């Protein structure tokens, strides 16, 4: 019923903490994480792992786990068991469920639902990510995007690198600084850096300098959102100058309505907004020309 790989059930008992299932390894040889195996054990001890609940009852796995002297690592290590990750106190099934939920809920909610501590959830997420991180994700990159994202109400930042061709995130580092991106370039290696042709980013100078130093042959591309944002600011200046000029007759509400209409893409204009843009074509050539240039820039992207 538990479908534990490489294990046989030897007993079941009930305790105040929940149901305890005693198991043992079927394999006779002890294995280290490096792949070394032997039949000789150094010593053994009893250990428990938290497993998925059986209904409303907590379920624990209990087994004798042995230590061995690994000749390859040249030290005493604990043997690997197929139902749990190294140094874990939870089964793989339990940790996989936690990791799946962590993509959809906060850690406090997960800890409450699964009746474990917040710290346990945090450690499980770290282990599962490290266990499933694809080392080949940094291979074959040649068009990447760099940006930052804030968390904890904007007081902390993460530097995120994504592959433009697959749309997948390939690197995340703490902080909003050049050093965070430099760690990614170092992980790429010389061959990986030579393969990068283009890097997209915003208009801030945080990542520009380190990109120019690490990828001197790559093209730096500024993303359309921030470029169009600058064009919209220039359009606002033209609108403000027109309002206070000789032909300026716009009230405050009219100016705000005109600003919204001018900033809206031509394909999304409502009938009343189209009327406003057409009015500027007749009354203020400067504002209308600024709007045309903004739309040309959008069309270019």
Distance of CA 122 to the CA centre of its chain: 15
Torsion of the alpha carbons at 130, 133, 138 and 140, rounded to the nearest 10: 160
pLDDT digits (tens, 9 = 90+) for 152-176: 776 789 999 999 999 999 999 988 8
Confidence check: pLDDT of 243 > 80 = no
pLDDT of residue 184: 93
pLDDT in tens, 88-107: 999 999 999 999 999 999 99
Which tokens sit at 196? 């990068």
Residue 253 has pLDDT above 60, yes or no: yes
* DSSP state, residue 7: E
Beta strands 169-174; 37-38: pairing state: unpaired
> What confidence tens digit (pLDDT) does each residue in 15-59 have?
998 999 999 988 888 888 888 888 888 888 899 999 999 988 999
Residue 102 tokens, joined:
């962590």
State the pLDDT at residue 33: 80
Neighbouring CB atoms inside 10 A of 226's CB total: 12
The DSSP bridge pattern shows strands 43-54 and 37-38 to be unpaired
Whether the CB-CB separation of 50 and 89 falls below 8 Å is answered with yes
Of 60, 129, 115, the C-alpha closest to 89 is 60
């Amino acid at each position: 019923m538990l479908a534990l790989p490489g294990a046989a059930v030897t007993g079941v008992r009930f305790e105040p903490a929940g149901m305890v299932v005693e198991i043992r390894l079927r394999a006779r040889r002890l294995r280290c994480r490096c792949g070394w195996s032997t039949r000789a054990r150094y010593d053994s001890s009893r250990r428990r792992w938290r497993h998925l609940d059986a209904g409303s009852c907590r379920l624990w796995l209990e087994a004798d786990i042995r230590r061995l002297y690994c000749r390859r690592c040249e030290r005493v290590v604990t043997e690997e068991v197929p139902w749990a990750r190294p140094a874990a106190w939870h089964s793989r099934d339990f940790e996989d469920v936690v990791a799946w939920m962590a993509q959809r809920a906060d850690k406090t909610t997960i800890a409450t639902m699964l009746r474990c501590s917040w710290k346990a959830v945090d450690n499980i997420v770290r282990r599962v990510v490290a266990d499933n991180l694809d080392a080949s994700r940094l291979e074959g990159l040649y068009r990447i995007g760099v940006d930052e994202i804030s968390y904890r109400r904007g007081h902390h930042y993460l530097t995120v690198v994504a592959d433009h061709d697959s749309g997948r995130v390939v690197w995340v580092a703490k902080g909003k600084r050049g050093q965070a991106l430099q760690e990614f370039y170092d992980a790429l290696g010389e061959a990986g850096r030579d393969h990068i042709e283009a890097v997209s980013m915003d208009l801030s100078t945080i990542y520009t300098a380190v990109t120019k130093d690490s990828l001197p042959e790559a093209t730096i591309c500024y993303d359309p959102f921030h470029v169009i944002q600058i064009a919209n600011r220039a359009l606002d200046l033209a609108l403000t100058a027109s309002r206070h000029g000789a032909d300026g007759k716009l009230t405050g509400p009219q100016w705000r309505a005109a600003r919204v209409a001018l900033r809206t893409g031509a394909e999304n204009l409502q009938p009343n907004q189209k009327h406003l843009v057409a009015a500027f074509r007749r009354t203020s050539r400067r504002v209308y020309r600024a709007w045309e240039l903004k739309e040309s820039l959008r069309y270019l992207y």
